[in-house]
Chain A
Amino acid sequence: MVHSFKRILLAAGVLALGVGAAGAATLDDVKARGALNCGVSQGLPGFSNPDDKGNWTGLDVDFCRAIAAAIFNDASKVKYSPLSAKDRFTALQSGAIDVLSRNTTWTMSRDTTLGFNFVGVMYYDGQGFMVRKSLNLKSVNELNGASICVQTGTTNELNVGDYFRTNNLKYELIAFATIDETIKAYDSGRCDAFTSDQSQLYAVRLKLTNASDHVVLPEVISKEPLGPVVRHGDDQWFDLVKWSYFALVDAEELGVNSKNVDQMVSSPNPEIKRLLGSDGKFGEAIGLPVDWVARMVKQVGNYGEIFDRNLGPNTPLAIDRGLNKLWNKGGLQYGMPVR
């Protein structure tokens, strides 16, 4: 009985893989369908969340819109599948979505054994700390002897222990079952610091009674590189998604943005000429027209514009760009050259 059930599951798995492999030419499928199927989160502030009009917005959402702009010259041709953390990988494996743009941490096991390819790092996240401004702290290392609020059962809980022990700092962990309980405890003053991934800290700050009284410390104590994911087995599609990301970063580096892109097409700068397709036919190598980058930047903006629109200083989140600055401005965002 057990054996036969296992066999059924195995057969189902093989079938699922077969289906995945059968749709190898993802770009053709997307073009035939007339829309990109994009997996996003069921709600993560600034990354993918519905706005007042019911449109999905956010950093992860804008990346899908950029790909749609490159393929269809219409950023609105995206169908969103809001996925829970549990079923995001099933959805990608089964072919229900073409790209998973859902704050997914790039780890070795996911990149290899699960059968996925990570295209890059849209957002360098990491575990950080939030404290009250009145404490006048500048660094995590000044948190010696602090009580720290954390959600129990998360990697955050383990990371804090590791970090404080390694650095010989005293600490007291106060753990809660849910994130909302943790926020409430911190807000009522039960702990000196609140720890979670930085992107979440900024979102949590908005829910505190007096958001401006709290500050997120600059350092991170763990690596959480979040990036878009595609299936194994279609290298052309992998290239397309990967270079869409690189091109967005390159556009920011070269000063090409949604407002000046029409003038920039005639710029004498050879790098800009190659990027925007006035020199060479780089888009064709990934099955797109030569003006693919111009389309993306014009409709969605370059990486910096996307970041600022969703997370930047003029949004309620006001996330510091930190590690997500360009490589030549002290960050890690580095677009490979289009050449």
Chain B
Amino acid sequence: MTTAQNPVSYVAPTDLLKPEPAPVSDRGAYGWARAHLFGSVGQVLLTLFGILVVLAVVPPMVRFFITDAVFIGTNREACLPETVGRPVGACWPFIAAKWNQILYGFYPADERWRVNVVYGLGVVLLIPLLIPRAPYKRTNALAFFGIYPLISFVLLTGGDLDMRSFVLGWIGLDFGVTASANGLRLTFWLQFLVVTLLAMASGMALAPVFGGERRAVALGILKAFAVVGIVMLAMDFDFGLPQVETRQWGGLLVTLVIAVTGIVASLPLGILLALGRRSELPLVKYSSIIFIEFWRGVPLITVLFFATYMLPLFLPGRFTIDGLLRALVGVALFASAYMAEVVRGGLQAIPKGQYEGAMAVGLRSGLMMRLVILPQALKLVIPGIVNNFIGLFKDTTLVLIVSIFDLLGILRASFTDPAWATPTTLFTGFGFAGLVYFVFCYGMSRYSMALERRLDRNQRH
């Protein structure tokens, strides 16, 4: 500030030199091209090569998928060169005709609204979960990971599992009651009640041995059984929905069910396995190692094949597990073994000082992992985790070999429909499938990059 009493000794002249714009060779489109496309002889060659590749690939694809393509029609006639009178590219009416199968497989037409509800609910719950700023994260996560799978299960299968015996029934104690209402059997729920009470009683009896408080232990057991009971009640209750066997599921529905189950199950399982592998308890450590190495050592096809065709031979009598469920369990265990190694990589990257610091402030090992180590380790391995997710999403196509018709499987079956057999049906179908897989995988990839940037904001080196 200058005043008359305290004149400053120097005032900068106001007529400073105006900044010159950067030389023409460094700015604008020309400058950018010079810097990025034609900076050196090597770059020039690479650029030319790139342009050639684009010219060789893009125009034929545009011609096949758009310019020469047929968009309207009701059967193969519409896509034949004889009918159209010119070379024909993609036969899009084929995709339109098979659209319902692509989305729902062989799901009965009258029941497809159930799949739509599951799709819609999934989107509604997932989007706010993925947006960092959206509120109510805890409630949202509980809804998506806890309640949504239950609703989906009941909607997609029809629920009404007709559960008959719970623990006691297996040893012949079924109280001899046959009454049932709304799909719920009295004997099952009597057994459940008795088991709950027994568990609470034994919990109270044993609590002092382990230094717990009787009331708290009993209450904890009651809560656990209540949650299990509510889940079973929902699955057992007859909501009046017709049953739809999983063999009728197909298309995108199956692809998403397998991929989402695999993704959601593999992360927590993988974290547990990774922690187990680094545990100092030999039993935990070696069982984790054996599990991981076994599942990483066999191909997914073998796992699926074994689960589908060999397992029934070993199971007693007429005891069967649903085919899709077997594939789901196989995929989840397989993916978790891979996930475990990714997470272990993250754990190893955390400096020892972090562990020591956490211990120094008095954290027990569980809290140390939860509050200090895992948040850092998981952040480090986001690319690896998402890599696994993407791989898993694409691996779901392998279920075709065990007669589960996923998106690709349903398209392959549709290729054999004589009403749509044309020279280009096959390429149209595969082109479309490729597009669908790309949309999902690229979406996951972009989201993980955004997530990395957000979590990395204060730590960029």
- A residues engaging B (CB < 8 A)? 12-13, 15-16, 19, 42-46, 49-54, 79, 81-84, 87, 90, 94, 180, 187, 203, 206-212, 315-317
Question: A42 and B417 in contact (CB under 8 A), knowing A52-B97, A83-B403?
Answer: no
Other A-B contacts than A53-B109, A316-B421, 16 sampled, CB-CB below 8 A, are A12-B310, A15-B313, A42-B409, A45-B416, A45-B418, A54-B100, A54-B104, A84-B401, A94-B313, A206-B421, A206-B422, A207-B423, A207-B425, A210-B81, A212-B82, A316-B419
- Kindly identify which residue among B75, B106, B310 contacts A54, using a CB–CB cutoff of 8 Å: B106
Nearest-CB residue, chain A, relative to B250: A54
List residues of chain A with CB within 8 A of the CB of B422: 206-207
Q: Are A43 and B412 in contact (CB under 8 A)?
A: yes
How distant is A93 from chain B, measured CB to nearest CB, in Å?
Answer: 10
User: Inter-chain contact count A-B, CB under 8 Å?
Assistant: 92
Q: How far is the CA of A38 from the CA of B107 in the complex (A)?
A: 18
Q: Are B419 and A210 in contact (CB under 8 A)?
A: no
- Most B CB contacts (10 A, CB to CB) among A13, A43, A52 go to A52
Q: Are B413 and A315 in contact (CB under 8 A)?
A: no
- Kindly identify which residue among B97, B314, B405, B426 contacts A12, using a CB–CB cutoff of 8 Å: B314
List residues of chain A with CB within 8 A of the CB of B314: 12
Nearest-CB residue, chain B, relative to A209: B423
Give me the 7 closest cross-chain CB pairs, A-B, nearest first.
A43-B416, A206-B421, A12-B313, A49-B416, A43-B413, A45-B418, A316-B418
How distant is A186 from chain B, measured CB to nearest CB, in Å?
Answer: 12
List residues of chain A with CB within 8 A of the CB of B313: 12-13, 15-16, 94
B175 within 8 A of A: no
B23 within 8 A of A: no
Q: Are B419 and A51 in contact (CB under 8 A)?
A: yes
Q: Are B426 and A46 in contact (CB under 8 A)?
A: no
List residues of chain B with CB within 8 A of the CB of A90: 309
B98 within 8 A of A: yes
5 of the cross-chain contacts (CB-CB < 8 Å) are: A45-B418, A54-B100, A81-B247, A208-B423, A316-B75
B415 within 8 A of A: yes
List residues of chain B with CB within 8 A of the CB of A206: 76, 418, 421-422
Q: Are B425 and A52 in contact (CB under 8 A)?
A: no
How distant is A87 from chain B, measured CB to nearest CB, in Å?
Answer: 6
How distant is B101 from chain A, measured CB to nearest CB, in Å?
Answer: 5
- B residues engaging A (CB < 8 A)? 75-76, 80-82, 97-98, 100-101, 104-107, 109, 245, 247, 309-310, 312-314, 317-318, 401, 403, 405, 409-410, 412-419, 421-423, 425-426
Question: A19 and B318 in contact (CB under 8 A), knowing A52-B419, A207-B421?
Answer: yes
How distant is B230 from chain A, measured CB to nearest CB, in Å?
Answer: 32
How distant is A130 from chain B, measured CB to nearest CB, in Å?
Answer: 14
Q: How far is the CA of A50 from the CA of B297 in the complex (A)?
A: 37
List residues of chain A with CB within 8 A of the CB of B247: 79, 81
Q: Are B418 and A203 in contact (CB under 8 A)?
A: yes
Question: A187 and B423 in contact (CB under 8 A), knowing A49-B413, A209-B81, A212-B82?
Answer: yes
Q: How far is the CA of A210 from the CA of B422 in the complex (A)?
A: 10
List residues of chain B with CB within 8 A of the CB of A53: 100, 109
Q: Are A49 and B101 in contact (CB under 8 A)?
A: no
Q: Are B312 and A94 in contact (CB under 8 A)?
A: yes
Question: A49 and B403 in contact (CB under 8 A), knowing A54-B100, A187-B423?
Answer: no
Question: A82 and B418 in contact (CB under 8 A), knowing A19-B317, A50-B106?
Answer: no
List residues of chain A with CB within 8 A of the CB of B80: 211
List residues of chain A with CB within 8 A of the CB of B310: 12
How distant is A82 from chain B, measured CB to nearest CB, in Å?
Answer: 6
List residues of chain A with CB within 8 A of the CB of B413: 42-43, 49-50, 82
Q: Are B318 and A82 in contact (CB under 8 A)?
A: no
How distant is A4 from chain B, measured CB to nearest CB, in Å?
Answer: 14
Nearest-CB residue, chain B, relative to A206: B421
Q: Are B309 and A50 in contact (CB under 8 A)?
A: no
How distant is B254 from chain A, measured CB to nearest CB, in Å?
Answer: 13
Q: How far is the CA of A10 from the CA of B416 in the complex (A)?
A: 38
Question: A203 and B309 in contact (CB under 8 A), knowing A42-B413, A52-B98, A53-B109?
Answer: no
